[in-house]
Structure 1
Amino acid sequence: MRILKYQLFLFLLIGLFSCTEEDTVPELEGIPAPSNISALFTIASDNSGDVTILPDGQGVTQYTVFFGDGSEESAELQPGESAEHTYTEGTYTVAIDAMGVNGKVTSYTQDLTVAFEAPQNLEVTVVPVPGDPFSIDVAATAELETFFEVTFGETPDEEPVAFMEGETIRHTYSATGEYVVRVVARSGGTGSAEATDTVTIANPLLLPIDFEDPTQEYVFSNFGGATSTVIDNPDMSAANPSSRVGQLNKMDGSEVWAGSFLELGEPIDFASAQKIAIKTWAPEAGIDILLKVENAANPDLFHEVTMQNTVANEWEELVFDFSEADFANDYNRVVVFFKFGTAGTGEDYYFDDIEVTDGSAELVFPVDFENPDINYSFEGFGSAGASVVANPDMTAPNESANVVEFIKAEGSETWGGVFFDMSNPIDFSTQKKVRMKVWAPAADVQVLLKFENLGNGDIFIERPVQNTVPNQWEELEFDFTDADFSNEYQRVVLFFDFGNAGTGEAYYFDDIQLVE
């Protein structure tokens, strides 16, 4: 193919000099082949492998450059033009065919070495994942790198995980301990840079404590003849359905002050609440249960509160008020005593769900808005709002003292509403209908009841129902039997006169409950 191209070129050239009989044909055969062929290689300094090839020579009308990397690519260039090609790291033989005006060709080769520099200024960031003591996030930056590889030091034959700059790699360890995280910055060739960071994976014991974490050891320190361990819940009832609880045994003849304590990984945070709730179970009612918080370094810094339980052989939640403690001290030890002041006779006591609280009771169904220990907190949107007020119409079927007033402000959005969050995901396992008492200033008002996933508001179920009477209480039923209960729903959202803008009117609701 190359010979045919040269013959055609020569034929056309001869034709240029044969237009008239008077023209004379120059002596092309006497022109020598191109000479002094060379090539200038310019290699990019960013480890990209980009190379610019500029051929040079004398008596050349066209260059053909063959890149020598095994590819079938080539470039045809006029004098002064250059070719660009991307190479991996290595040594290559670049071939150049230089053709002259008479088609004569001079071939030339020149070695090209592409060597990548090692990455520079490698910086690795390893940070713990908030709320997950077993996980870390790894990211890295460097100059002249092509990509990164990371190993987490958990197994000897660990396969590296590759990632690019700008990416974050998350890893979850299977156990506590110290691990060496190794990050290697690759250049695309043999050059590399690496950095290591030692991470400590710990699982500190923090409040709240529910004894359900299989990665937690729950190490008790016992004294005075008491022994505490974590066991299966011996009384899984509605008051405490959890599977694991703490058991404290006061051996026969134990000291009157026998007890156990748990040391926490950090001081108790009393900044926003100064009470501690704990579920207890005892074989008799009316016994002294003492809860004490101590400074681990100096047990003389402490505060203690004593309460009496009210039921025997049942779970109940006791709330201990620590508001009079000296919060200038750190308290990182929780001490429990059962039947304090009386020697043990071998009896067992149980405790569970130790947490700091403001003393408010849990918000669960049914909701009647009568409990002074519950903080009924409503969030409005679209210029609607709600609050607990005295019942403005204490007539059947709703003669309760407190209800919720819902107001759509003048000009509020058509979708204006309010929501409140239950203490736990709603249990729709056996009851899938909801009844609610409502009061509206007109009939045929659309009342929309919606349940949302607390973490993702795009996951929800909702049902609209219209009231039938104005200025009276009536009970509406919302049927969710065909809803998708594969998700958890914890947020309750309410709309009155949904689809219409507000005019400042007030609506009321009360007594929300699940029914079959």
Structure 2
Amino acid sequence: MKKYIHYITLLFLASFVWIGCELEDPELGLPPTAEQVTFTYTYDANNPNIVHFKSTAPGFKALWDFGNGTKAEGTEVDGAFPLQGNYTVKLTIYTAGGSATNSQTITIAQTNPTMLNREDYNFLTGGANQLEGKTWVFSPVGPVNFGGEPANGGNNWWSQTLAEQNDCFKDDEYTFSLAGFKFENKSKGAMWGINNGVENQCVPQPATPVASTWNLYEEDGKVMLSVSNSETIAWDDNEGVYEVMELSENRLHIRKVCCGGGGVRNYVLVPKGYTPPVVEKPYKSANLTDNFDEEGNFTWSKDRALFLESFDNPAQIGINTSDKVARYTKPAGQADAFANVFIDLGYRIDLTTRNVIKLKVFMPSFNDYAAMGGAEDWSPVKTLQKQVSVKLQNSLLGGNAWTTQAEVIQKVTQTDQWVELTFDFSSVSARTDFDKIVVQIGGEAHYNPGIFYIDDFRLMP
């Protein structure tokens, strides 16, 4: 019996030792050294401005920086160097133990003009027939500078025309030249940006533009535009890298995530001396409906409000027993004082036969409608309001859309039950400029939070 117990004990101990070994972290190995980061390169037989690179270093990942603003990933890659000169090519390899970088200098003997004859280069610089370069300015018709949160792509109320900009922003000019890929920031003394850590300041600029170059390249499936030597476009933050949303002969739309990553800024530029035409949206009459149990025939967008569509109905009672509704949340704080949701239509609304909007709303009693959580100094409203506001706006006016809007406000006197509200816009049915519908619940210009529910939104005859 003792031998049997002893044998079981040995088996248990052996199992414990084996399990312990299995639980140990595997050895990662030593990090690579720069000397281990080696690569070869050969010039293309038909075009010596194309260089073939091959990593001869160990590792599971190889990242390349060609020294001309372009990058690549892979063991074997090609680099394009249309301009004569010396380029420092860096290779970074990654192994289980870490990463290391090494570099070599390659020489491009001659400029290859055929590689410079690209549509995007010609659009940006004017091409070989305009060696003095092409100067871009901010679009005078706007929107020129529009932003928002990264999640919604920057499409919100902060959509401004050139006239709304600070004076040190309005007169900026930027010249791109094909010769030497030269970039000149002609901001005439000051740029709008960050000065000594403070945002939204006029930042002094040198009288003579800093010598800089530009580059167009692809990265992660996106077309990027960069300018060197800490030069920037529109906003002075020393980070001159932008995603190109559109580049044509008469329009340059660039976009960047900025301000600590919390926002998106878009800038629209046009060639100096060019006035873009104002393209008017079509004018039509159409039904708009969304019951949140199924897809509506339009898209809701959010401007600071939190909006959850197809949310479980919190009270299937009275006039609304549907399964799904939308939950609308106005967050607390000054940044969300004007929170709303909106419908940005692709046409101007014909209100002659359809000019009444209806929706159902549920106002919970658990909201604090008496709290004085702060408000804008000029606002007479200091508390969360039991109300729904519907506004019709002209989106072409950008941040000034509120100045010509038509607004109907309906007060709600009953909490914890569904009520139907009617917003009659027949008094402005002759207007032909509205292309946006804004829904705002709980009032504006105050900093108090609230949660609400809506359902059965419709614009019908």
- Which protein has greater RCO, CA pairs closer than 8 Å, 6+ apart? 2
TM-score (norm 2): 0.31
Larger radius of gyration: 1
TM-score (norm 1): 0.28
